[in-house]
Amino acid sequence: MIPIAKPNLGQEEVDAAREAILSGWVSQGPKVAEFEKAFADFVGADYACAVSNCTTGLHLALLAIGVKPGDIVVTVSHSFITTANVIRYCGAEPLFVDIDPLTFNMSPDALRSALEQNRTQRVAAMLVVHQMGMPADLGSILQIASEFNVPVVEDAACASGSEVSLDNGATFERVGRPRGDIACFSFHPRKVLTTGEGGMITTRHERYDRECRLLRGQAMSVSDLERHKAGQIIFESYPKVGYNYRMTDIQAAIGIEQLKKLPSMVQRRRAIVEQYRQGLKDVAWLDMPLEPPYARTNWQSLPIRLRPEAPRSQKDFMQSLLDSGVTTRPGIMNAHQEAPYADHKEPLPHSEEARARTVLLPIFSSMTDDEIQTIIRVIHSA
Ligand SMILES: *Cc1c(COP(=O)(O)O)cnc(C)c1O
């Protein structure tokens, strides 16, 4: 059975986790600080704040930006449900806009018209997803953000190691630098870099970083590590209602090792997609995903789209692959098709079509060439 994904964890991560466990410091401490520094350097961010997962990271990012009850946050429905949920955590409402069907990411045109139609309500933020690791059209979106004076939060959950260009492909930089105001990453095992569970918030604003650090640790005025090192008695204070959204040092130790492997994992994934492209180029009833000129993706997921003339339905196609030992997943979900967001009224045809016609194929960096060829064969005979 070929799985849809597999984390790339080895002896280096085992040794690092063991060392953290035996160090006597297992909660948020020196390894978390080291991982934050390494991640900030890797993406080119001024600040990085580690958290328990990307969901908690996005929650803190929206709070730091100032999203409050009654606000509107513009985002896509076509995303993992976290993207919508974190808006509700703040007491705000998502305003869903449709995607560009070719990239599965927020359509800048749909974004513009949503903002033009909502001039009376306070739009507190845009939550822009780099779906499946594919960078969104940040150049166009940031232009709109500055015209409407709305801060941008990037849901970069899937985008560790992805690169984006703001000059249409002339130069690239890593997602997370960030060009928006805050970006949040996930280290869940379905993503490219994993720490079991985990997340990272990167920003260029010192005040957002300070707020996220405060809120992840119950808003305690001094961290455990600072108090431990102080050499004098400190009584802490709690100026706000905070959360426990901390990462452990065991996770951070694993993350430091994963980050060293990230460029080679991304390189391998890109080579795997090239093999898929070669092997599937004469299958007329499916479309391989597009990589636009402003994007260099990490291929966290590999979405193929079944054309209307495809011989099988999405479900039949997936079942036939499963019967031949190949695991797949349907395209990304839409929040507005789930109960908590079913009151959404504007049509989102491209989002619904993407869910109904897309199939995610197996991709992980330890995949063998034989496994890829097997999958290509199975698809041909399906
Ligand atoms: C995985 C994912 C998340 C959630 O990440 P967690 O670390 O599991 O909380 C959020 N947004 C998107 C787009 C994701 O794919």
CB contact at 8 A, 127 and 73: yes
Structure confidence by residue, pLDDT tens digits, 161-206: 999 999 989 999 999 997 889 999 999 999 999 999 999 999 999 9
The strand ranges marked E within the chain are: 47-51, 72-76, 93-97, 123-129, 152-155, 163-164, 173-174, 182-186, 199-203, 286-287, 295-296, 302-306, 329-330, 358-361
pLDDT value at 120 more than 90: no
CB contact at 8 A, 325 and 362: no
pLDDT value at 320 more than 80: yes
CB contact at 8 A, 199 and 247: yes
- Which residues have CB under 6 Å of ligand 1? 53-55, 79-80, 82-83, 129, 155, 157-158, 186, 188, 199
Structure confidence by residue, pLDDT tens digits, 226-267: 888 888 998 999 999 999 999 999 999 999 999 999 999 999
DSSP 104: S
**Widest distance between CA atoms in the chain:** 73
Closest by Cα among 316, 249, 300 to 35: 249
Mean pLDDT for 357-382 is 97
Distance 323 CA to ligand 1 centre (A): 29
Distance 160 CA to ligand 1 centre (A): 12
Atom 5 of ligand 1: nearest residue by CA position: 54
- What percent of the chain has pLDDT above 70? 100
- Which atom of ligand 1 has the smallest separation from the CA of 199? 7
Q: What is the pLDDT of residue 102?
A: 94
Q: What is the pLDDT of residue 168?
A: 87
- Which atom of ligand 1 has the smallest separation from the CA of 82? 10
Token pair 């993992």 is found at 80
Distance 57 CA to ligand 1 centre (A): 10
pLDDT value at 222 more than 90: no
Query: In testing the pocket of ligand 1, which one of 76, 132, 186, 301 has its CB within 8 Å of the most ligand atoms?
Result: 186
Structure confidence by residue, pLDDT tens digits, 40-68: 999 999 999 999 999 999 999 999 999 99
Locate 91 and state its tokens. 């007491």
Give the Cα separation of 248 and 30 in Å (integer). Answer: 10
Cβ contacts of 245 within 8 Å, gap of 6 or more: 51, 52, 56, 57, 59, 60, 215, 216, 217
Average pLDDT over the chain, rounded to whole?
96
Give the Cα separation of 4 and 359 in Å (integer). Answer: 11
Distance 237 CA to ligand 1 centre (A): 32
Closest by Cα among 102, 173, 101, 186 to 142: 173
The whole-model pTM stands at 0.97
Q: Report residue 262 CA to chain centroid gap.
A: 15
Closest by Cα among 195, 193, 199, 192 to 251: 195
